[in-house]
Amino acid sequence: MKPINLDGQSLTRDQLVEIAYGASAGLDPQALKAVARAADFLADQVRREEPIYGVSTGFGSNADKLLGAHPLRDELPGAVKSGRSLHEELQHNLIITHAVCVGPPMAQEVVRAMLGIRINTLLRGHSGIRVQTLEALTAMLNAGIVPVVPELGSVGASGDLAPLSHLALVLLGGGEAFHQGERMPGAQALQRAGLTPVTLSYKEGLALNNGTAQMLAMGVLAVHRLDALLDTADLAAAMTIDAFAGRLGAFAEEVHTLRPHPGQVHVAGRLRELLAGSTLADIAYHLVPKFRPWLPHSWNVPDMGWPESQQLRFDIGWDWVPSDQRHGREKFYRRFRPFLGGKKHQPQDSYSLRCVPQVHGAVRDALAQAKRVLEIELNSVTDNPLVFPDRTDAAHVEEQVISAGHFHGMPLALAMSYVKASIPVLASISERRLNKLVDPATNDGLPAFLIGNEDGTESGHMIVQYTAAAIVNDLASRAHPASVFSIPTSANAEDHVSMGANEARQVLAMSADLGKVLALELYTAAQALDLRRDMINAARDLAARADAVAFAAKVQGGAAAGVDPRFLEGVEGLRSELARSAEFHPGHAVAAAHAALREKIPFLDRDRAMDGEVATVVRLVESGKLLAAARHALSP
């Protein structure tokens, strides 16, 4: 990867993702001049003995305590002296006492992203950190040293204090770190990389641990993952729509100009692209046969010369609608032949199919709002106090070192709350489509659980839906916004906090589980698509080989021919129309994704162990291979 040049003002989400996954960082020389100017300014103010929060005073509830000339305990007999000045001791103690997170370590890409964010924001030159300390932090990142940062401990104001303290602790030669795949003491990691610990100067502890880097890093990585999952959700929906031989009118461009929410318009257009070329979608109702269980005599049609029929794993059929049952529907049966097959005679599909643009699109709009907030935050200064060394009109130091609240994570927390609420929505509609596929009452003529089961011994995709349902329930139970429940900290000096770190951490974890639900839908939709396509094409092949009498054997009620003389005439019309049809197939992009899945997982002809296949399809979604296949099919 090319190094990412950081200047405090132009970092993008994509660049941060590159840093998270291994890119090194460079420091802009012009930005370093601003960094040096702020550090020199603070040093000058300390020499003047000006009271500055977090520099010559304590922190939080200790803000009313001014630093003295030396530690009071140094006057006691036998006192052990640290060798640091009180100003250095203040910053050192801030880091070592605030590194109290618990839980499993954050993923290394998250910690690298946190380092990248912290370096970038410090380059703005309003934090007071010295150039050499910032360079040491960057060297640690570029050397592949990843501090061990436990997951739990941030309340999201004053920023992500505890996790960022774990980040800085390694810079001081403490804590633990991962280096070259091995977990070790922080001092050892620095030594292996040829780096030396840092002694912190004025405000440098605050500069390192006072900010929103954890929630921002997790938010950016979650959004990066969700970007791909939203496209995957559209692909899964398209494959399911093809498997249903669904109706495309609900996705028409002119429909969505009447309610032009950006995400909705985008998804409708994307479905049109994914389903382009499909001859299953919008197929005439009467051409779609319904599943019947295979029997030994199912395809024994005399004199057909069709040995391939013996390999079919299903039987098919239609119901004939006699003349005396068409009253009031004569016009319909003049347009569509009087046969009831797998596709119900209704002009609209269920909400989980028809309303994909409205639901997927609303989730896209939630993500777009989060992106807007994250992009602002990436190049913002989020520590406290803020240093303005170039403000020449200031009457006193309080106008140049200003205490404010940029560490408060509420902008990120609320944006993540919005995204968090949308994840179960996307997972839920996916599970509803999956359930519709396996339920014979709703799957428009496909077999129950998408398996032939002629002997009554097979479960097919039954339990796949259970797993999806379990994940959806879990996602829904985790969707409550953390941001609505503030718990005051620091003896009520910090009396309203954002809980944004919890919000972003949960969104990142939930996004991975969303991918599992989408994978299960794709796994199931591929099975259903095979059955639908093969059943219709089997009907087409039979129609091309059989006469009306032989074809009538596939139509329930064949005995009615003697009662209604138009029965055979109707059968011949159906047979002739099927025989003239080209081979039926899904949309080009759907077909490409289906083929990519089938390279790894064959059609489920009979029950077999599915655990490995489920793990495989989850990996295919995580790796983006199915999505890449669909995108390649769409490329010019």
Q: What is the residue extent of each domain of the chain?
A: 4-211, 223-368+415-634
The pLDDT assigned to 304 comes to: 61
Nearest to 113 by CA among 191, 14, 35: 14
DSSP structure string for 100-164: --EEEEPPHHHHHHHHHHHHHHHTTS-S---HHHHHHHHHHHHTT-EE--EEE---SSSSSHHHH
Q: In whole angstroms, how large is the CA radius of gyration of the chain?
A: 33
Q: Which homologous superfamily does the CATH classification assign to the domain defined by 223-368+415-634? A: Fumarase/aspartase (Central domain) (1.20.200.10)
Q: What share of the chain is helix, strand, coil (3-state, %, to 5)?
A: 55, 5, 40
Long-range CB contact pairs, 579-583, < 8 A, 24+: 579/540, 579/543, 579/544, 581/287, 581/540, 582/279, 583/279, 583/537, 583/540
pTM for this predicted structure = 0.94
CATH number of the structural domain 4-211: 1.10.275.10
**489: which strand partners?**
494
Cβ-Cβ contacts under 8 Å for 207 (sequence gap 6 or more): 122, 127, 128, 129, 383
Q: 48: which 2 tokens?
A: 């003047």
Distance CA 502, CA 583 (A): 53
- The alpha carbon dihedral of 583, 588, 589, 593 has a sign of positive
For residue 335, count other CB atoms closer than 10 A to its CB. Answer: 9
Q: Which residues are catalytic?
A: 53
The pLDDT assigned to 201 comes to: 93
Condensed to tens digits (0 to 9), the pLDDT of residues 528-565 reads 999 999 999 999 999 998 888 888 888 865 555 555 67
DSSP structure string for 309-359: GGG-S-EEEEEE--GGG-TT-HHHHHHS-SEE-SS-S-SS--HHHHTHHHH
The pLDDT assigned to 302 comes to: 61
pLDDT surpasses 60 at 376: yes
pLDDT surpasses 70 at 303: no
Condensed to tens digits (0 to 9), the pLDDT of residues 154-174 reads 999 888 999 999 999 999 999
In the chain, % of residues over pLDDT 70? 96
Cβ–Cβ under 8 Å, residues 517 and 430: yes
Please give the C-alpha separations between residue 385 and each of 99, 166, 486, in angstroms, as whole numbers.
21, 21, 23
Three-state SS at 70? coil
Condensed to tens digits (0 to 9), the pLDDT of residues 452-485 reads 999 999 999 999 999 999 999 999 999 999 999 8
Condensed to tens digits (0 to 9), the pLDDT of residues 256-283 reads 999 999 999 999 999 999 999 999 999 9
Residues in the chain: 636
- Residue 353 burial (10 A CB sphere; 0-12, 13-18, 19+): buried
pLDDT surpasses 60 at 604: yes
The pLDDT assigned to 299 comes to: 82
How many CA atoms lie within 13 Å of 376's alpha carbon, on the beta-carbon side? 10
Distance CA 224, CA 214 (A): 15
Q: Pairing mode, if any, of strands 146-147 and 176-179? A: antiparallel
Cβ–Cβ under 8 Å, residues 498 and 158: no
Cβ-Cβ contacts under 8 Å for 338 (sequence gap 6 or more): 286, 320, 321, 322, 323, 326, 570
Nearest to 88 by CA among 50, 46, 147: 46
